[in-house]
Each structure stands twice: as C-alpha cells, then as structure tokens.
Amino acid sequence: MKNYDDVLKSRLDDENYRKLSAIENSRLHKFVAEYVQLCDPESVSVITDSQEDIDYIRQLSIRNGEEQKLAMEGHTVHFDGYNDQARDKDKTRYLLEEGVDLGDRLNSIEKSKGLEEMHSLLSGIMQGKQMLVRFFCLGPKNSQFSIPAMQLTDSAYVGHSEDILYRHGYEQFRSMGDCDDFFRIVHSAGELEEGVSKNVDKRRIYIDPDESIVYSANTQYAGNTVGLKKLSLRMAIRKADKEGWLAEHMLLMGVNGPGGRRSYFCGAYPSACGKTSTAMIPGETIVGDDIAYLRPINGELRAVNVEAGIFGIIRDVNPEDDPIIWDALNKPGEVIFSNVLVKDGKPYWLGMGHEIPESGYNHGGEWFKGKKDDKGAEISPSHKNARYTVALAELENCDENLNDPAGLPVCGVIYGGRDSDTSVPVEQGFDWTHGIITKGASLESETTAATLGQEGVRVFQPMSNIDFVSLPLGRYVQNNLDIVEKLDGEPLVFGTNYFLKDESGGYLNGMHDKRVWLKWMELRVHGDVGAVERPTGLIPEYEDLKSLFKEVLGKEYTKEDYERQFAMRVKENLAKINRIEKIYRESVSDTPQVLFDVLQQQRKRLEEA
C-alpha cells in the first residue's frame, strides 16, 4: 500500500478526512486506508456521534432503497434477500494459522487461504457505492466493560441498525489515543439487485480472532452483517478468556421481589427459545435481551448489556403475550421492521393476533396468498425469522441502570432450551459447579428458524453459546466453572424449560408461566422459600407455586398440573446424560474431569431413584 495518509487524503474529501484525522490512531488510519483501496468505494463518509451524522444514515437508508418508510412516524421496513434470511453458520468461519487446531467443532479455514478468498471477494466490491466509517462502544461507555469497535460498511441499513443497537463511540475513539485494542469489522452487501444482495452464493463471514477483525461479504441479514453482534461476541469470548471474565449469549434483567428489592439475573437461551420474551416480562425490568459481559469485581459477579437495543424475532409478538414490545412497535418512534409483510404502509407478521391481509409486499417481492417460490414451497406472508430493531429506551420497562458503567450485580444465572420431554419447567442446581455442568454445559435445544437448516432437531447447545464459542469447548466450560473462585459468594444457577409437551404434543405450560418461575427464582436467591430435592436439582414446593400463580397470574395452579409438569423423567434424564457424556468424551478433547464426575454422580442418583 502507498503511504496510508496519502491514500486517505486522496480518497476522502476535506470534511471526512478532518473527521477521521481527529482520531489520532495510526492502526485505525491504516485499516481504513487499506480497505478503501481494496473495496474502492465512490466516496467515504466518516460518521461521528453528532445527531446530524446519525440522521444522515437514517435518510441515506431510505434514499438508497435499503429501507422504506411505513405509515407510522419513524417506522421503516427493510428486506433481506429471499435466501438471506438467517445466520449462515456454514459460511461463517474462523481464520486460523496453519497448525492451530481448536477442534473440529469450530468451522475454520486456513488463514492465508481464507484471507485471499475474502480479499478477492472484497476487491472493488464498493465501486459506485459509499463507504461508511462507523464507531461504537460495546458495553456502557467509560467502563472497564467497554470495548471500542469500528465498522466499515456500504450498507446504510446496517449502519442504521447499529445506531439503534449500540452506544456511539466516535468520541471514545478520539479520547483513547493510539490504543490498538479495538474490534474492526468490514462489511459489504455486495452487488445489489432490487435492493438486496445478489451474490448470496458468494456470502462469506470470516473472523480473524487473533486480530479481532470480522469480514462479511454478499449478505445483508443483520446476524451476518451487524458485526458488533454475534461476530463480536465471538471475539469478546477470546478476549474474556485472556482477561479472566465471561462474554455470554445472555439476557440481563431485574426481577422485582418483596419489599421493593430488585434482583438481577442473567439468562442464556438459544435463538428463538424465549430469551427476549423473558427479558421483557411486564412488571420486571429489562437491561438486555441478547449479549452480556460478566466480570468478577470486588468479589461480586457484575454484568452489563453489550447492546442498547433489540434485534428481536417478531413472530408471535402480540398484545396478549408480549404487551411491552407490542406497545413499542405500535407507537411512533424509531423502529426497523425486517422481512415482514407490508400492505398500505403497515407491517404484518405471523402470530400478531390480527388478521393478515391476503396480499402485499414481503421478502419475496409482491406477495399473494398461496404464492410459491421457485422450489415450489409456499411463501409465508412474513418470514419466520422476521425481526424488529428498536432501542431499549423505547420500552416502558427499560431498567434505569442500563448504562451504569459499574454493571449490575448478578444473583442468579438461568439456562433454558427447547426441550419437549426431559427437563422440568424450573429447577435450581445444587451449587455453581453442578448448575454450570448439568444446566449450562449440558443444555440441548430443538432447532428453530433463527439459523438456516432443518427445524425441530435436538442439538447440543452448551450455555446457548455453542454457535459463538471461539475457544476449545472444554476451556470455555472451565472458564465458566472458574469464575466463582474470584467471588465472595456463588450466584445460584437455574435451568428452565418452557417447552415441555404432553403425550399428544400440546405444551404443558402457558406462555405466562415463566413469570412465576422468575419470581420463584428471585425468592430462592434470598432464601425466602424452600425447595424439594431431586436427583437433578431443587424444584419448587407446590404450595409456593400455588400462591405465586395466584399472586402473579391470578390463576389456580392445581396439584395435578404441578405433578405433571414436575414429574421426574428418569429415563429421559438418563438418556440425556448418555448423549452429553458421549459428546464431551468423543468430540471435546479438553473436557474438565469434573464434568464427567458430576454427570456420573447425577446418573447414580437417577438410577437410585
């Protein structure tokens, strides 16, 4: 490359050059220059934290057709390509130096080969387009949790999503000087056809974990392009490993207990398994719905939401089940709807509790009821993974401590998967180690529409984080076990299961029962209720649930319901131990011995039962 400053001077106009040079960081300047040269955009816009710059992105997204205005003030819709509707796990790969082996589980490609491929895809990819240079802060600003991150993208939709989802970081970059510890992300939607990425066969998402760089090309779906989300989570997991903290696929929420107290919980649920709807339970407060950083600080486990907004699944959001998000999506304010059905400027989606029109416009273009795609499959009015993007501040129950740089004290950690026949609705682990191993590291879940591939298949989902764990798995489990050594007390660990079914395939629990489980967990944290000991953990006593159901939901909870829901499924639990043990024994070479010991003890308890 030519002298990088010459490149920047020749490719940026005065105004943008001035904005970039106001950040005195040579690593950053070199990086921008390198990708300006490679991607060859027509122009480069450096976006600061000013309202004027943020508004510019919002308008650009409308102007270039990536978003369209809807009837309600501030609402827009964005469509991803018909075959670009979810995270592409197969084409998301780590760039690893030759000889580095992180186990087969991590989808990887040899670094020089992967970089060569990526660079050839990115070469000239932004011709005729505008490159946006963006700065954000993962976690609250001015905090030991903060990670600065910058993004280059040619998509105003991606930039707009990030403005809603993250804290702005231009000023932070200015104040941090020549520091080289920040995440870098390069994205291009590639050639567009009718506003969507045309070359999805050339969709690639590569992560260089040593350099903390993400490359993403020929895709728009936010899970593949908003590099600050899951792609940065992967990098944060490695950073956390080096520095002695945890980066998790977790919600963070306040649960209100008796006497005005509030207790904070983290919760890990795989995609589309109730994480967001748990985080938004009315009467409690939401801090975050997707990614949390957890650090031991002065003997306490403290957590922050990495984000400031929600990229949530819209399917089944209706006024009955999710009143808080329903309200946020039905009032004027900044919301991006993606891959919904639009008719007369209004968005519609599956499970909204209203009638859906028989025609309109959706991710497949003009739509009418019964329309089929080119493989002969019927196109649903809205995609199952259709989403909304909204700032947390728009939610009526947003926790006032969302931006607290000190983080919030975590008193309980919850793991929950989609499990039709094995685990009870709520159960406490005997202690941290037992909880992490049997509830977290042993989590399984039936697949959903949030990733490409078949649905309804039971998959191994340790900590709900398996898609993002960028370390040898045993080491990651060990890090989770070890964190308590730096704490004065142990947070409690719980398992939940909202998806238990009866013999005829109907759910054994109502949508709102999770409100009761949360209240019970809050009481357990403070030792306010007892529990029944089982081979697999501690379950609620019937009388406590009976009064909580009355108090929280105004419902009679019968002994019969309790017995059906909390039945000890011995055979299924034994089968699960066998499956989990096999996975760790056969495909995880660095499994901590304690995992096998704890599973073996649980097997013995089950056999004796």
Binding mask 307-336 for ligand SPV (x = CB under 6 A): ----x-------------------------
Q: Does 561 bind ligand SPV (CB under 6 A)?
A: no
Size of the site for ligand SPV (CB under 6 A): 9
Give the CA distances from residue 569 to residues 364, 411, 456, 549, 583, in Å, rounded to whole numbers and listed in that order. Answer: 44, 28, 21, 24, 21
Task: Give the x/- contact pattern for ligand SPV in 228-257, rule: CB under 6 A.
Answer: -xx---------------------------
Residue 87 binding partner per list Mn ion, ligand SPV, none, with a CB distance cut-off of 5 to 8 Å that depends on partner kind: ligand SPV
Among 139, 140, 169, 223, binds ligand SPV (CB under 6 A): 223
In the bound state with ligand SPV, the residue whose beta carbon lies nearer, of 160 and 229, is 229
Output the smallest distance, CB 329 to ligand SPV, in A: 17
Using CB under 6 A as the binding rule, whether residue 388 contacts ligand SPV is answered as: no
DSSP state of 6: H
Stretch that binds ligand SPV, among 221-229, 279-287, 331-339, 367-375 (CB under 6 A): 221-229
Which part of the chain contacts ligand SPV (CB under 6 A), choosing from 33-41, 222-230, 317-325, 570-578?
222-230
Residue 549: Cβ within 10 Å count:
22
Name the residue type at position 98.
E
Q: For the chain, how long is the longest CA-to-CA vector? A: 76
Residue by residue, what is the 3-state secondary structure of 363-378?
Answer: CCEEEECCCECCCCCE
How far apart, in whole angstroms, are the C-alpha atoms of residue 187 and residue 30? 17
- Residue 473 binding result from ligand SPV, Mn ion, none, given CB thresholds of 5 to 8 Å by partner type: none
Rounded distance, CA 414 to CA 521, Å? 9
**Burial zone of 66 (CB within 10 Å; 0-12 exposed, 13-18 middle, 19+ buried):** buried
Q: Are 213 and 184 in contact (CB under 8 A)?
A: yes
Q: Which of 39, 137, 266, 273 is catalytic?
A: 273
Cα–Cα distance for residue pair 438/494, rounded to 1 Å: 10
Over the window 82 to 111, marking each residue x when it contacts ligand SPV by CB under 6 A and - when it does not, the resulting string is -----x------------------------
What distance in Å separates the CA atoms of residue 502 and residue 546, rounded to the nearest whole number?
Answer: 21
C-alpha distance across the termini of the chain, in Å: 69
Q: How far is the C-alpha of 360 from the C-alpha of 77, rounded, in Å?
A: 13
Site residues for ligand SPV, 435-494, by CB under 6 A, read 450
Alpha-carbon span 572 to 253, nearest angstrom: 31
Q: Which does 229 bind (CB under 5 to 8 A by kind): ligand SPV, Mn ion, none?
A: ligand SPV
Q: What is the DSSP letter of 200?
A: G
Q: Which does 311 bind (CB under 5 to 8 A by kind): Mn ion, ligand SPV, none?
A: ligand SPV
In degrees and rounded to multiples of 5, residue 271 shows phi and psi of: -55, 135
- Contacted entry of ligand SPV, Mn ion, none for residue 41, CB cut-off 5 to 8 Å set by kind: none
In the complex, minimum distance from the CB of residue 559 to ligand SPV, in angstroms, rounded to a whole number: 37
Measured between alpha carbons, how far is 324 from 274 in angstroms, rounded to an integer?
15
Our finding on whether 222 is near ligand SPV (CB under 6 A) is yes
Residue with the CB atom nearest ligand SPV in the bound state: 223
Q: How many CB atoms lie within 10 A of CB 543?
A: 13
Of residues 29 through 88, those in contact with ligand SPV by CB under 6 A are 87
Q: Minimal distance in Å, beta carbon 510 to ligand SPV?
A: 24
Q: Which is nearer to Mn ion, 172 or 464 (CB)?
A: 464
**In the complex, least distance from residue 464 CB atom to Mn ion, rounded to whole angstroms:** 8
Tell me how far apart the alpha carbons of residues 64 and 28 are, in angstroms, rounded to a whole number. Answer: 27
CA distance 505 to 597: 34
| Full 3-state SS string of 580-591 | HHHHHHHHCCCC
Q: How far is the CB of 306 from Mn ion (least distance, A)?
A: 11
Interaction partner, residue 133 (ligand SPV, Mn ion, none; CB < 5-8 Å by kind):
none
How is the beta sheet containing 335-338 ordered, strand by strand?
Answer: 68-69, 75-78, 335-338, 387-391, 309-313
Q: Residue 418: which of Mn ion, ligand SPV, none does it interact with, CB under 5 to 8 A by kind?
A: none
CB of 118 to ligand SPV, least distance (A): 20
Shortest spacing between CB 137 and ligand SPV, in angstroms: 18
- Catalytic, 39? Answer no
Provide the binding-site residues for Mn ion, judged by CB under 5 A: 290
Asked if 8 touches ligand SPV (CB under 6 A), the answer is: no
Q: Which amino acid is at 31?
A: F
DSSP state of 319: T
139 to 198, contacts with ligand SPV by CB under 6 A? Answer: none
Q: Which is nearer to Mn ion, 290 or 444 (CB)?
A: 290
Beta-bridge partners for 343: 346
Q: Which is nearer to ligand SPV, 170 or 221 (CB)?
A: 221
292 binds ligand SPV (CB under 6 A): no
Note the residues at the interface with ligand SPV (CB under 6 A): 87, 222-223, 229-230, 271, 290, 311, 450
List the catalytic residues: 273
